[in-house]
Structure 1
Amino acid sequence: MTTVLTPVEGEAVGLAAVPDPVFSAGMVGPGTAIDPLRGPGKAVAPIAGKIMKLHPHAYVIVGDDGKGVLVHLGIDTVQLKGEGFRLLATEGDRVCAGQAVVAWDPSAVEGGGRSPVCPVVALDALSDAVTGVAQGRVQAGDELFIWE
């Protein structure tokens, strides 16, 4: 069992609220999404492990149990080519759950005409493997869901 933490402060809205069919239909995997608080902030590691992929707008952390969690900071943010994001860690780093990974500003993402909603996905998990999904207001580092 893996406890996945909330990477950003905001409102837990569920994957169905993500304006991208790949995420909203659960094709990437089960999980939820956070509509982030507007303003500069930091996105933290949802689990302890190794940063396997790190882009300014998204990262994957794989725990010692082999479970990988994807955090995607906004939708279509790859088009920003890193603008508005600052890496606070390096690909290959080992991180603790709750450790800051990326600094960003959701209001700048939104101001550029993109959704700042952040999917948090259990990669390669069965749809029923995720339970106890948080709803409503969440703080970075709060329990977001359990991956059985």
Structure 2
Amino acid sequence: MTTVLAPVEGAAVGLAAVPDPVFSAGMVGPGTAIDPLRGPGKAVAPIAGKIMKLHPHAYVIVGDDGKGVLVHLGIDTVQLKGQGFQLLAAEGDRVSAGQPVVAWDPAAIEAGGRSPVCPVVALDALSESVTEVVEGAVHVGDELFQWE
């Protein structure tokens, strides 16, 4: 069982609330999404493991059990080409759960006309393997969901 932690502070709203059909339909995988607090902050590792992919707007951490979790900071933020994001770790780094990975400002993302909602997805997981999904207010490092 893997406990996936909230990478950002805000409100857990579920994948259906993500304004992107690829995420909202669960095509990337099951999980949830967080509507982040508006203000500068740091997105942290939702699990302990190795950073397998790191872009300014998204990252994937794979645990020792082979489970990978994607954190996507906002929707269509790839178009920003890294503007407004600061990497605090490097691809290939080992991180502990709760360790800061990217600094960003959701309010700036929203001001640019994009959604700052953050999908947190269990990659290559069966939907029934993700349980105890939290709804409502979450703080960085709170339990977000369980992955069996």
What residue ranges of structure 2 are gaps of 5+ in the alignment? none
TM-score, normalized by length of structure 1? 1.00
Q: Within 5 Å, give how 1:1-148 maps onto structure 2.
A: 1-148=1-148
Identity fraction in percent: 87
Q: Within 1, Cα distance between the matches of 2:85 and 2:146? A: 28
What residue ranges of structure 1 are gaps of 5+ in the alignment? none
Q: CA RMSD in A?
A: 0.2
CA distances 1:1-22 after superposition (whole Å, capped 9, x unpaired): 0000000000000000000000
Q: Within 2, Cα distance between the matches of 1:13 and 1:127? A: 17
Q: Within 1, Cα distance between the matches of 2:90 and 2:49? A: 13
Q: Offset at 1:79?
A: 0.1
Size of the aligned set, in residue pairs, is 148
TM-score, normalized by length of structure 2? 1.00
Q: Offset at 1:92?
A: 0.1
Q: Offset at 1:99?
A: 0.2
Q: Within 2, Cα distance between the matches of 1:129 and 1:89? A: 29
Q: Specify the code of the residue in structure 1 equivalent to 2:118.
A: C
4+ runs of 1 displaced by more than 3 Å?
Answer: none
CA distances 1:69-116 after superposition (whole Å, capped 9, x unpaired): 000000000000000000000000000000000000000000000000
